């Protein structure tokens, strides 16, 4: 239940997703996460570091720990399923297509 609580928080999985290709500094990570607010990003990074999913490197960049890399590997089947789901729904479906800003 603790993992579901942690990863159920908005942006937590996105942070893991963005760090899977390598370490990112705070501003770069914020940019990759659609410019989420600095305070929410700090809070999520703190939670993920306390859970030993993310670490802060000496140069201050953030990276996945071994546990974080395992969490990403555990997400891969969900990513494959979501691709199948998107294909089944089809293009233009409001569930798979984010609304464009007005």
pLDDT band at 91 (very low <50, low <70, confident <90, very high): confident
pLDDT band at 97 (very low <50, low <70, confident <90, very high): low
Q: pLDDT at residue 95 above 80?
A: no
Tell me how far CA of residue 73 lies from CA of 13, 26, 76, 78, 102, in angstroms: 12, 23, 5, 10, 36
Per the prediction, the chain carries an average pLDDT of: 89
Taken in order of first residue, the domains within the chain and their CATH numbers are 2-77 (1.10.10.10)
Q: pLDDT at residue 30 above 60?
A: yes
- According to DSSP, residue 64 is labeled E
What is the spatial distance between Cα 49 and Cα 100, in angstroms, rounded to a whole number? 33
| pLDDT value of position 96 | 57
């Amino acid at each position: 239940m603790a993992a579901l609580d942690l990863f159920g928080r908005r942006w937590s999985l996105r942070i893991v997703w963005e760090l899977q290709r390598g370490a990112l500094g705070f501003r770069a990570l914020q940019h990759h996460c659609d410019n989420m607010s600095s305070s929410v990003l700090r809070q999520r990074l703190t939670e993920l570091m306390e859970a030993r999913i993310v670490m802060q490197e000496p140069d201050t960049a953030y990276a996945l720990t071994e546990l974080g890399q395992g969490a990403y590997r555990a997400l891969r089947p969900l990513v494959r399923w979501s691709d199948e789901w998107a294909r089944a729904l089809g293009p233009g479906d409001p569930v798979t297509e984010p609304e464009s800003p007005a």
